[in-house]
Structure 1
Amino acid sequence: MRLNLVQPAFDLPDDAPLEGEMIWQGALAPLFMILDLPQQEASGDLDATIKIAGTIESPEPKGMISLKNGRYEHLPSGFLATDLALDARLDGLKLTIESLAAQDGNGGRISGAGSAGLSPEGELLADLDLSLDGVTVVRRVEARAITSAQLKFEKSPAIHRLSGRIEPTRADIDIAKSLPDDVTSIEVTEIDSRVARMDGGDDDTGDQGLAPPDERPLALDLKIAAPRRIFIRGRGLDSEWALDLDIDGSADTPLITGSARLVKGAFDFAGRRLILDNGQILLTGNANPDPLLDITARDQIDGLAIVLQLSGPLSAPVISLQSTPSLPEDEILARLLFGEQVSDLTPLEAMQLASALASLSGGGGLDVIGAARSTLGLDRLNIDMGGEDTAGTRLTGGKYLTDDIYLEISTETGTGITTGTIEWALTRNLGVRSEMSSSKDNSVSLRWSWSY
């Protein structure tokens, strides 16, 4: 070894021998934090002993790595692996995973094996197999998915591919709890991505830096098959679907072909329950996917058979109404919304009908109720015109006072009775509901719910 005192630097010859040993017996978490992986957490008991021999030019590390009582969590998706156990062997620049096993905290099992390392040229080489058996891969408020899968990741000078078969056993998607359409995306402009150096120069290391990463995109060869139990609910929809999809292309530009087929379902619309008797969503493998919809719902009102059809691309769907005997769309919609002919509608009902017709034809329409709700600053506003067996029109308005407290006021024009309701969510599963009425019919109830 030579030491330059004028410009301090170590100069080690390439053939200088190496000899050393690294031992870690303790918590995994401090080492995982060094990786700086956002919104990911890992812990466990790590036992690693690595001996280093060879030379500076050709190091020869060897050793064993063992992890017990491990836990890994991916916060954005809610994926969780518990009781994580890993046994691996390091031999030179190759790491062989002899066994990998974990639970998902919900009865699912994860297992895997394979190897990863570096070629003499510094290129990543990998051959990894992963097996999922009833694993909860998504655990969020708006979505939950349980799946089994056989996956294989291959990386070599000739191959860079993820392949396998995915068989979801159950998925629950609540579209009412997903983000609204008006969430604004923030455009980020990168002013200068260079990292300043201590000597004032730029970060261009030229040929002296690390070898550039493999620019080949990850190729995909995946099959997704679910004969049923893909549930989509919310905003009036209660449906079950089957999936048959092929995913090709690359991770940067996946090409999805196949279909989602309706098993059964219904749609609650304007207080009526329409039965979904046909439904198919087609994906044709375009780089910019725009699924084609073909969904039909039916209802029967006073001898009038009504068919509502949703068709066309997802980006510009077309909604049409037909009936037997045949009637104009405005007459069909009036029967569907209010159970009356157009000539018998009140002025407010006529305005709501005009808005609905504009929406069916692709226009925005005049959303009277929505505009009033926005002007009053309410979270919910509903006008129920009632029927022959009800006490006139019911006007209901509600607002969240905090994230956990909801206040709702309802009044009936026919009886003059006003009712106030307060709902307080104590925990995710436990809540208190208090109802006070001008008719002196007051109550307090404790509500408990559990999603399973």
Structure 2
Amino acid sequence: MALNLDVSVPQGQLSGKNLRDAMLGFSGSTLDNRLNGAIRGEASLDGFRTDLQANVSVSNEQQRLSDLDFQAAGTRLTGDLTRGSDGLTNGALKLTAPDVSVAAALLLAEAKGAINADIALVGADGQQNANVAANAKGLAFNDIIVGSADISVELSDLLGVPVINGTAVAQSVSAAGVDIDQLSATAAQTGTTTDFSAKARLQNGSDIDLAGTLTPVDNGYRLGLDRAELAQGQLTARLAAPTVLSVSGSTVRLDAVQLNVGSGSLTARGTAGEALDIALDIRTLPLAIANAVMPELGLAGTLNGSAQISGRSSAPQVSFTADANGISAAAISEFGIAPLSATVSGSYANSVVTLAGLRAEGARGLQVSGSGIVPLDGGGLNVSVTGSAPLALANRFVADRGGQANGTVSLDARVTGTIAAPAFSGSVSTNGASYVDPEANVRIQNITGSANLEGDRVVIQSLSAGLATGGTVNATGSISLTNGFPANVQVGLNSARYADGNLFVATVSGNLALTGNLTGNPLLAGNIGVEKADITVPESFGDGSALIDVTHVDTPRAVTQTLARAKADERSSAPTPSNRPSGMLLDINIDAPNQIFIRGRGLDAEVGGSVRVTGPLNNIQPVGGFSLNRGRLAILGQRITFDSGTVTLVGDLNPYLNLVARTQGEGITVFVTVSGRASDISVDFSSSPALPQDEVLSRLIFKRSVGELSPLQLAKLAGAVAELAGGGGNNGLLDSLRGAAGLADLDIVTDANGNVAVQAGAYVQDNIYLGVQAGADGQSRVTVNLDITDDLTAKGSTGADGNSSVGVFYEKDY
């Protein structure tokens, strides 16, 4: 009877590659329980032509695949295979693949790299034997990567206890999370015994050395370990003495396998199989041995303990005790609780862990003890925990902003339900804790409170704290322990004083509500009344010095952590968060009818009003502003009263000012405008009729034109300009003053104590220079320089304080 089958796929995808015009067919016949036929196939995969041809013959006596020829993008697999009624296979396969990616896609797999292999299969004397010669380069398959490998091996009795002759060498291998730089293995047959050895150098510098024998015995085999060693630096784990593992059917007998690890040991003895009877004994085992394989663990400490495993493999029973000391690990290093010590005892049976006792102690007041039942599946969870834990455990959540919590929380709790859905009961409390947030310039102290655990939420009974700058904060409400930690917390502010450390100081009272998921975008809403606020216009001079670009070499770990918290490499005045979501949302009404004061650089103003602050913390959107209640500007003893003004929040605590004053000068009306951010204000003078700023100032202050001013008056006028501009700006106005007065020099200077003065000077004659200096402290000084010759100069000075000096100076340039 004829048998034909054809399957076609006009268009599709395999492992991300485009498949077109695919066809797979079989044509043959069946006669007397025998199937004969031919397989053929072709397709275009990512533009590469693929072809498959093979002949098939199947009967009760044998199955035969002959004339196999598969080709895809340079990959070619050829060969013949015959499987007899005894289950043994004879034949050969040859694979040549400079790039396996296209061929792998046909098997619904992702792979790349080159591989070549010759495989010969021989079935004889009831044994399946094979010869394999293969090499690979740049091979990647799933999570396995092989830089290069060469294998040449003869195998006997593959389906029983293999006897091996051959070698394997590989470089740059990654598998199961282990990175191997070099690997070499050899196996040699002596009678029915295979002697084997293997050495490997891991990428982290660890060395592995293994040697032993494999010998068939009745109904199993005997594995002898002559040498087994793992070493990294001075730390080694090695087999204490040659040992034997005997396998009979499904039962494995351990002949007192002992590993010496550093100064400790791990010993296992007994049998494993359908019935279990294994004893484990651990003595001063250094946990750092795990770092030899996975350095990122950063483990330290020692472990003592024992375990007895009994029962059956389908229902094991375990009793255990363990005592660990000096424990630390990379995962807990940032919490500051290491080193830890812990003891635990208990048992396991029927998928339930019974903790007879658990106790852990660590730095910063960590003390936890507990007991109970932990079912791995289903309900019945019942664990009691008491003790105290450091609040520093929460620092990882505020590490990017440099936040630091100190103090301890006491815990008396019980956990029931299931592991997937635990229910909590009991209480937690803290007394005298503190929290520092350098980014927000907040220090909260004497945090005291208590809360109850009720099912899947924490109910805050009372929580109060004081601010280091003054005032208190209190809170009540609840926080759910489910995903996202949804909260409903009411916060009260009681004359709480906040200072940003630069421009802003405020004392506020009010009530706020925090709702929503704490790990998402919770909402903080409510009303705040400002009792008093001070906005200080900085008395700065110049723009400050640029930070030096410092490269840190061999930085100690503690210094590195400090630099990271301070965001030193970001060259900013305060640390800022990195890659943090928008975070908390605001909807707060701020009411301040008065007592918001703006002072500095001659300014003295009071504003009031109300503002609604909305939006996320990183993009505050204020609605409303504060308007002028009163205000004045002092300049050289004169007081100019502001007529109008506003103060607007623009996203932070550095508000935008716009204050306008009008007064009369000598025949003109003078307008003074103070505008800009509080940290960088600009003072502008204009007039009606319009005049230059120097002329406006001269007429305003001295009631005369700038050309009529004396050098001392010019110096005072320049000093007033410097005070209003913060010493850093208005150079154009100074230049116009100097030019108008015909001076050789007009400048703003500071002495060693930071006192500000203005100096002016002019040449009375070609060799006589007269200078005047007027200080902000009211002191003035006049100096005279007389050039007698090119090298000889007489200098004299007299000050308002009565101090005078005179001298003759000789200077010579060489």
Query: Same-fold call, TM > 0.5?
Result: yes
Q: Distance in 1 between matches of 2:439 and 2:782?
A: 45
Residue in 2 that maps onto 1:164: 526
Structure 2 partner of 1:417: 798
Deviation at 1:41, TM superposition (A): 4.3
Alpha-carbon deviation of 1:347? 8.0
Whether 2:410 is the aligned partner of 1:47: answer yes
Specify whether residues 438 and 107 from structure 1 end up closer, same or farther in structure 2 by C-alpha distance, changes over 3 A only: closer
1:125-274 correspondence runs (5 A): 125-138=486-499, 140=501, 142-155=503-516, 160-176=522-538, 218-274=584-640
- The Cα of 1:76 is off from its aligned counterpart by 4.8
Displacement after TM superposition at 1:376 (Å): 9.8
Deviations 1:2-40, CA, capped at 9 Å, x for gaps: xxx9x99x99944375443332247x4554556564544
- Counterpart CA distance in 2 for 1:160 and 1:23 is 31
- C-alpha displacement at 1:261, in angstroms? 1.0
Q: Is the 8 A contact 1:52 1:62 kept in 2?
A: yes
Deviation at 1:159, TM superposition (A): 8.4
Higher strand content, 1 or 2:
2
Match 1:112 to one of 452, 465, 475: 475
Q: Is 1:382 the equivalent of 2:765? A: no
For 1:306 and 1:318, locate their aligned partners in 2 and report how far apart those are by CA, in whole Å: 13
Cα distance change on mapping 1:184 and 1:228 into 2, 3 Å: farther
Check 1:114–1:253 CA distance in 2 against 1; reply closer, same or farther (3 A cut).
Answer: same
Q: Distance in 1 between matches of 2:501 and 2:667?
A: 44
- Equivalent in 71, 75, 79 of residue 442 of structure 2: 79
Q: TM-score, normalised by structure 2?
A: 0.38
How many angstroms does 1:129 deviate by?
Answer: 0.9
Contact 1:219 1:249 in 2 (8 A): yes
Q: Does 1:93 align with 2:93?
A: no
1:55-86 per-position Cα deviation (integer Å, ceiling 9, x unaligned): 32222332200112333343455534444321
Deviations 1:376-435, CA, capped at 9 Å, x for gaps: 9995552278xxxxxx9751579xxxxxxxx9996235994348xxxxxxxxxxxxxxxx
Give the CA deviation at 1:184.
6.1
CA drift of 1:114 comes to: 1.1
C-alpha change, 1:175 and 1:71, in structure 2 (3 Å) is same
Counterpart residue identity of residue 57, structure 1: A
Distance change in 2, residues 1:46/1:177 (3 Å)? farther
Conserved? CA contact 1:77–1:137, under 8 Å: no
Contact map agreement 1:166 1:222 (CA 8 A) in 2: yes
In the other structure, the counterpart of 1:403 is: none
Contact 2:685 2:696 survives alignment (8 Å): no
Q: 1:20 aligns with which of 383, 408, 428?
A: 383
Distance 1:371 1:321 in 2: 23
The alpha-carbon deviation at position 343 of structure 1 amounts to: 3.3
Structure 2 unaligned regions, length at least 5: 1-279, 281-292, 295-347, 352-374, 550-578, 739-744, 761-769, 785-795, 806-814
Identity %: 25
Give yes or no for contact 2:504–2:535 (8 Å, CA) kept in 1.
yes
The answer for the alignment partner of 2:732 in structure 1 is 365
In 2, the alpha carbon distance for the partners of 1:293 and 1:33 equals 38
Contact 2:392-2:404 at 8 Å conserved across structures = no
- 1:273 and 1:299 in contact (8 A); partners too: no
Deviations 1:196-241, CA, capped at 9 Å, x for gaps? xxxxxxxxxxxxxxxxx99786433211110111112112212211
Quote the residue 2:269 is aligned against: none
Letter in 1 for 2:691: P
Pairing partner for 1:66 from 429, 443, 450: 429
Q: Give aligned pairs, total.
A: 369
* CA distance in structure 1 between the aligned counterparts of 2:580 and 2:485, rounded to whole angstroms: 8
**Aligned residue for 1:429?**
none
Distance change (3 Å), C-alpha of 1:373 and 1:347: closer
Q: Against the structure 1 CA distance between its residues 290 and 116, is the aligned structure 2 distance closer, same or farther, given a 3 Å change threshold?
A: closer
Indicate if the aligned counterparts of 2:460 and 2:476 stay in contact, CA closer than 8 A: yes
**Pair 1:244–1:343, CA change in 2 (3 A):** same
CA contact (8 A) 1:25 1:48 kept: yes
* Distance in 2 between residues matched to 1:91 and 1:180, nearest whole Å: 59
Return the match for 2:773 from 380, 395, 405: 395
| 630, 637, 661: which one aligns with 1:297 | 661
Taking structure 1 as reference, are residues 128 and 181 closer, same or farther at Cα in structure 2, changes over 3 Å only? Answer: farther
Change (3 A) 1:168 1:237: same
SS in 2 for 1:307: strand
| SS of aligned partner of 1:336 | helix
- Distance, in Å, in 2 between the alignment partners of 1:43 and 1:113 is 21
Q: What's 2:687 paired with?
A: 322
Cα distance, 1:97 vs structure 2: 0.9
Deviations 1:240-279 (A, max 9, x none): 1113211223334322121221122221235533222321
Pairs within 5 Å for 1:345-360:
345=709, 349=714
79-88 or 152-161, which deviates more: 152-161
Contact in 2 for aligned 1:14/1:57 (Cα 8 Å):
no
Rounded to whole Å, the distance in 2 between the matches of 1:181 and 1:79 is: 27
1:438 alignment partner, one of 797, 803, 806: 803
Cα distance in 1 between the residues matched to 2:548 and 2:383: 50
CA contact (8 A) 2:746 2:758 kept: no
Assess if the C-alpha contact under 8 Å between 1:383 and 1:393 holds in 2.
no
Change (3 A) 1:129 1:185: farther
Q: Which residue of 2 aligns with 1:332?
A: 696
Residues in 1 aligned to 2:696 and 2:497: alpha-carbon distance in whole angstroms: 44
Question: How large is the RMSD of aligned CA atoms in angstroms?
Answer: 5.2
Residue 298 of structure 1 aligns to a residue whose secondary structure is: strand
Q: Is the 8 A contact 1:72 1:80 kept in 2?
A: yes
- The one-letter amino acid of 1:382's match is A
**Cα shift at 1:166:** 1.6
Residues of 2 paired with 1:107 and 1:290: CA distance? 21
Q: Which residue in 2 is equivalent to 1:389?
A: none
* Deviation for aligned residue 1:337: 4.8
Bigger-Rg structure (1/2): 2
Higher relative contact order (CA 8 A, sep 6+): 1
2:525 maps to a residue whose letter is S
The answer (yes or no) to whether the contact 1:25–1:47 under 8 Å persists in 2 is yes
CA-to-aligned-CA distance 1:118-162 (integer Å, 9 cap, x gap) = 43xx23311111010211122636432110121111115998422
C-alpha separation between the residues in 1 aligned to 2:647 and 2:460? 41
**Letter of the 2:507 counterpart:** I
* Contact 1:66/1:86, CA 8 A, preserved across alignment: yes
Mapped to 1, the partners of 2:778 and 2:645 lie a distance apart of 37
Structure 1 residues 166 and 126, CA, compared in 2 at 3 Å: closer, same or farther? same
